Structure 1
Amino acid sequence: MTVSRETFDVLVVGGGHAGIEAAWAAAQLGARVGLVTTNPDRIGLMPCNPAVGGPGKSQLVFEITALGGLMGRLADATAIHTRTLNQSKGPAVRSLRVQVERDAYAVEAQRVLLAHPNVQAVRGEVAHLWIEAGHLCGVQLVDGRRLAGRAVVLSAGTFLSGVVWYGRQSRPAGRQGEPPARFLSQSLRAVGHRLMRFKTGTPPRIRADSVNYGALEVVPPDDPPGSFTGTPGPHAAAMPTWTTRTTARTHRLIQENLHLSPLYAGDIEGIGPRYCPSIEDKVVRFADKDSHLLFVEPDGIHTSELYLQGFSSSLPPELQEEMVRSLPGFERAVIQRYAYAVEYDAVDPTELTPGLQSKKLPGLFTAGQINGTSGYEEAAAQGLLAGVNAARFAAGEPEVHLPRESGYIGVLIDDLVHRGVDEPYRMMTSRVELRLLCRADNADERMVPYAVRWGLRPKADLERVEAKYARVRAELERLARVRVDGVSGLHYLRRPEASYAALLERGLGPEVPLTPEEAYQVEVRAKYAGYIERQIRLRERLRELSAYRLPAGLDYRTVHNLSREAMEKLERVRPATVAEAARIPGLRDSDITALLVHLARTREPAGA
């Protein structure tokens, strides 16, 4: 057996969105990173929709950007269409969605990541984790090479024992045209991890010159364009997108051919995402609907392909032809790449720490779809945190994490490691209890302090953010003293028709004008002051429960009045605090009370 001459601090397995952020974060902290992938030219490839963001997801990207990650930067650099969703709703749910040039995104990701002096791409397929005497030493490749690493991040996406389905025909693959990771599942089981089987899918790609755009409804880009970094790319408003709808003929074709679907025929064992179902699943589950909205999105400015969002399917290719041509505008459409479903293995995320480290094998971290999530943004967020902690582990430093109340990434990780998943997890604004405090627009205020503390950003960045919000607070204090129509400026802004811009037009602004971003913060904080105060009180109550720490070696059999179900779940998850225990599905209020009483009796209450 040969051993590679290269010894890395961190080995990252997989070059998708999780792998990119893990490698970048670890490298930024000074770790020597080996990025192991079967083909470095596929790093950053977007195998599904050519877009970043959307409800719940854009909030993740703003937080990744504030923490010093790459996803927002890459999306802005390659944007061809931006649109802010939920504009008519409150600021908590407004979400940016950036359509990107798909191929350019991958090129830009490779250019930026592989230019980092601490990152080296290693071509190869990982066969096994390299473990000696119970300690993780690195990974072993299928060609016999061993790569030494103090920490390993697995970000294998849908490749773990992946199988793709076209109708009832299947073949091993991680995604279209690429082989699966054939051996890693066995390695994970060997160290004690429980694996689950999940499923996802992708729509067909349509030849752009075969579509009748006159029959489609145009969705124009925002003007001016939005961005994650504050600097829109040069082509951010270059393209429209379009919409069409399914028809009665579409639904009839699907209903008459469900026996050809591997999902309905029982061939697929994996559980699919509830919030991103296939078109056949939507037709069956929502039989009362006459049609379903579909989004037609270009893969680039000069692309030959269109992405048909909302039309994911695992039905046979010949049937897909008829289904697509039943859509308005697609009567003569030509499919360049057919839709398919993919089944893959995922680890049980309750077997991970809040820093995404395996509880079974120190030094092993996992991120992305391997943890039971779906979506680029969820994967990138996990990759960043796993990369930070892998670098810290390699340097002998303690693990860090983001508390739930800090924002969307905190909620995502907390849900995964304490609640677990029984289907691919998708981030949504409704999952976040404190979403009015954790908006996309104040991600810098919440995340930059962590980024600086962890070493991902310089202290000067924090000073700029602190100065920005000091100006916002000063303006709110000034408005409390200004009289407008007989009331204070703050009370004036709480009127539905009032705006900060109207105050400025009346000459009631500060001597030194605020930036547009600062002015927006003033208006939001004034207009929603009552709701924000309510959420601040809720945050404090959640923190109180978090102060009650559970001893690491607590024998839950000694806790009086604890239900058997609670005992089993607490033993498996091993929460650090009562707050974490309260979020485990199946635990009742009486179980939480039993824990608090036990802590009081054993003099282990507030973790002072």
Structure 2
Amino acid sequence: MGVSRETYDVVVVGGGHAGLEAAAAAARLGARVALLTGDPARVGLMPCNPAVGGPGKSQLVHEIEALGGWMGGLADAAAIHTRVLNRSKGPAVRSLRVQTDRDAYAAAARERLSAEPGIQLVRGEAVDFVREGGRLAGVRTADGRVLRAPAVVVAAGTFLRGRIWYGLQSRPAGRQGEPPAEHLSRALAALGHRTLRLKTGTPPRIVRRSIDFGALEEVPPDDPPGSFSGRPGPHAAALPTWTTRTGPRTHRLILDHLGESPLYAGRIDAVGPRYCPSIEDKVVRFADKDSHLLFVEPDGLETSEVYLQGFSSSLPPRVQEAMLRTLPGFEHAVVQRYAYAVEYDAFDPTDLSPGLMSRHLAGLFLAGQVNGTSGYEEAAAQGLVAGLNAARFAAGEHEVGLGPDEAYIGVLIDDLVTRGVDEPYRMMTSRVALRLLLRGDNADERLVPKAAAWGLRPAADAERVAAKYARVAAELERLERARVEGVPATVWLRRPGATLAEAWRRVGPPPEPLAPEEAEQVEIRARYAGYIERQRRERARIGELAAYALPPDLDYARVHNLSREAVEKLSRRRPRTLAEAARIPGLRDAEITALLVHLARRGVQR
């Protein structure tokens, strides 16, 4: 019997958040897509906290939504609690966080997949890449099938040589109850991709009825609820969440049993996330703290599990139980699933182009945790870009992407491919220099036109967004001409306590009523006009450097006044522009100037 050969335009390896967005983006461009996963019933699973958004991350989700992605709509449909964080701060750092029903989210994802005629779900494990004539031709599965395609997206999450730990006991697994992918790491390494070993973890799940919620502090949902898509689900304000705290007894138990932690016992060499540490790490690193805040969040409307955010651990189950019972409200807690740590292979993302294509094999794309990131949102954003470019590659079109002056997604990918990672990467607003320009609330203005141009959204969507912002601009012009207390209404709105509603009361409402989101744009743009203009000037300066293209065959060893380190880094990473070169860690301003002089001598024009 011969080997089965099935032909597609794009094969996506992995059915998590990166894989879903990659498959969806490629299919929207008309590609025939195979979504290869070990268990199709677990596609779209939220193995950690079933929440989407939060600081830095909600901006990514708004951008995914603007680009036609699925994550925002899925989160809204499955929402059971929404809350805007940093509401009292400026619009650059406000962020929506949506707690979802875990099972409903996965069910909605599978429903959307089944409704997409361009995507075929395939059960199996990818073990190697097929090449013909030196070119990528598809993937080979463990059972001997060949899925033929000129483009492949690897979005394997934590499954590549995954190993989970409960105390000093470990076993191979991608996550609890699922086997790892043991062979694809070797295939990537054989191509020249450099392997990283990283670690993450998850908290215990507690039986809901065993918790004394009266001892917890309740956090009510926003009313009305927020949403990423503008369409809150029917249960978006259905449940509160709660908080509790660790205490000295908790900390003493942890310190007494540190030797049973695989990380502190030296059994795990992998690097964990700095910004999402285990409870053991928190107690050791912040020894001056008497307590740590924990969030108690339901896994769904009907599930019996409650998620204890902030309490991830790799200590043995018996120690976890003792620790839990020191927490207020958890004195009689029953554990439904114990916390564990997982270590896995990732790959140096500096081996990728800004479109997330391998520099070692054209047509191969990597997205998500295999690139050293953490979090659903970071994975989904990469998956969308990788799927978009995989479909374009299969169609013989050039790579496209977003710059760090255009989107949080651009910052994320630029950080990965120019700086690399030495720990799991998490998106934060502090990473974004132009965060007042790249807000979640204006993602549609920034990205819907690009999505329409790339084929990710219909042209009518771009027309609708253009009309929305034309109304915003017209109202700002009207308010600039109107006077309140002797100054333009736009200037008056910068005063503490001033509101657009009061401005309209004084100068009259706009000729045509504005939708609430349009009024929000008017108020933000008037109130923060000076800061916005300052960031626009900074973006223009960045654009000047981006206008200088670096030849792909440039011999950096022949550039005068470059250090040996700079030559090595530039030769390996091959930045496309002077702006990309300036973001490579370790390059000095003088070396960027040396490049500029070299380009001028060669007659390279902006």
TM range (shorter): over 0.9
Query: Counterpart of 1:296 in structure 2: which amino acid?
Result: V
SS in 2 for 1:69: coil
- What's the % identity of the aligned pairs? 72
Query: Counterpart of 1:224 in structure 2: which amino acid?
Result: P
Structure 1 residue 236, shift from structure 2 partner: 0.2
Whether the 8 Å CA contact 2:484–2:506 is kept in 1: the answer is no
Whether the 8 Å CA contact 1:139–1:147 is kept in 2: the answer is yes
Query: Counterpart of 2:282 in structure 1: which amino acid?
Result: K
Structure 1 residue 504, shift from structure 2 partner: 2.8
Which stretch of the first structure deviates more once superposed, 584-593 or 66-75? 584-593
Structure 1 residue 403, shift from structure 2 partner: 1.4
Give the match for residue 523 of structure 2. Answer: 523
Give the match for residue 439 of structure 2. Answer: 439
Structure 1 residue 6, shift from structure 2 partner: 2.2
Whether the 8 Å CA contact 1:198–1:423 is kept in 2: the answer is yes
Whether the 8 Å CA contact 1:198–1:272 is kept in 2: the answer is yes
Whether the 8 Å CA contact 1:22–1:388 is kept in 2: the answer is yes
SS in 2 for 1:31: coil
Structure 1 residue 507, shift from structure 2 partner: 5.7
SS in 2 for 1:604: coil
Structure 1 residue 303, shift from structure 2 partner: 1.4
SS in 1 for 2:342: strand
Q: How does 1:373-452 map to 2 (within 5 A)?
A: 373-452=373-452
Return 5+ residue gaps in structure 2 as ranges: none
SS in 2 for 1:227: coil
Structure 1 residue 589, shift from structure 2 partner: 1.4
Whether the 8 Å CA contact 1:3–1:147 is kept in 2: the answer is no
Q: How far, CA to CA, are the matches of 1:454 and 1:54 in structure 2?
A: 28
SS in 1 for 2:129: strand
Change (3 A) 1:446 1:2: farther
Give the match for residue 140 of structure 1. Answer: 140
Structure 1 residue 492, shift from structure 2 partner: 0.9
Q: How does 1:583-602 map to 2 (within 5 A)?
A: 583-602=583-602
Give the match for residue 491 of structure 1. Answer: 491
Which stretch of the first structure deviates more once superposed, 429-438 or 125-134? 125-134
Give the match for residue 351 of structure 1. Answer: 351
Give the match for residue 552 of structure 1. Answer: 552
Query: Counterpart of 1:39 in structure 2: which amino acid?
Result: D
Which stretch of the first structure deviates more once superposed, 258-267 or 526-535? 258-267
RMSD across aligned positions (CA): 0.9
Counterpart check, 1:213 vs 2:213: yes
Q: How far, CA to CA, are the matches of 1:506 and 1:41 in structure 2?
A: 58
Give the match for residue 108 of structure 2. Answer: 108
Give the match for residue 252 of structure 1. Answer: 252
SS in 1 for 2:8: strand
What's the CA shift string for 1:414-438, capped at 9, x where partnerless? 1111111111100000111100000
Q: How does 1:314-329 map to 2 (within 5 A)?
A: 314-329=314-329
SS in 2 for 1:295: strand
Give the match for residue 131 of structure 2. Answer: 131
Q: TM-score normalized by structure 1? A: 0.99
Give the match for residue 151 of structure 2. Answer: 151
Whether the 8 Å CA contact 2:80–2:238 is kept in 1: the answer is yes
Give the match for residue 168 of structure 2. Answer: 168
SS in 2 for 1:221: coil
Give the match for residue 267 of structure 2. Answer: 267
Q: TM-score normalized by structure 2? A: 0.99
Q: How far, CA to CA, are the matches of 2:422 and 2:604 in structure 1?
A: 33
Query: Counterpart of 2:265 in structure 1: which amino acid?
Result: A
Query: Counterpart of 2:99 in structure 1: which amino acid?
Result: Q
Q: How far, CA to CA, are the matches of 1:597 and 1:3 in structure 2?
A: 57
Give the match for residue 537 of structure 2. Answer: 537
Give the match for residue 339 of structure 2. Answer: 339
Q: How far, CA to CA, are the matches of 1:232 and 1:212 in structure 2?
A: 30
SS in 2 for 1:345: strand
Give the match for residue 510 of structure 1. Answer: 510
Structure 1 residue 485, shift from structure 2 partner: 1.6
* Number of residue pairs aligned between Structure 1 and Structure 2: 606
Give the match for residue 81 of structure 1. Answer: 81
What's the CA shift string for 1:454-512, capped at 9, x where partnerless? 00111110111000000000000000111112211111101011000122344622121
Extract structure 1 runs of 4+ deviating beyond 4 A.
none
SS in 1 for 2:4: strand
What's the CA shift string for 1:100-158, capped at 9, x where partnerless? 00011001000001220011000011111112332111111111111111110000000
Give the match for residue 7 of structure 2. Answer: 7
Q: How far, CA to CA, are the matches of 1:480 and 1:135 in structure 2?
A: 59
Whether the 8 Å CA contact 2:6–2:146 is kept in 1: the answer is no
Structure 1 residue 59, shift from structure 2 partner: 0.2
Give the match for residue 194 of structure 2. Answer: 194
Counterpart check, 1:566 vs 2:569: no
SS in 2 for 1:405: coil
Q: How far, CA to CA, are the matches of 2:49 and 2:2 in structure 1?
A: 40
Query: Counterpart of 1:70 in structure 2: which amino acid?
Result: W
Give the match for residue 303 of structure 2. Answer: 303
Structure 1 residue 600, shift from structure 2 partner: 1.3
SS in 2 for 1:159: coil
Whether the 8 Å CA contact 2:4–2:144 is kept in 1: the answer is no
SS in 1 for 2:472: helix
Query: Counterpart of 1:217 in structure 2: which amino acid?
Result: E
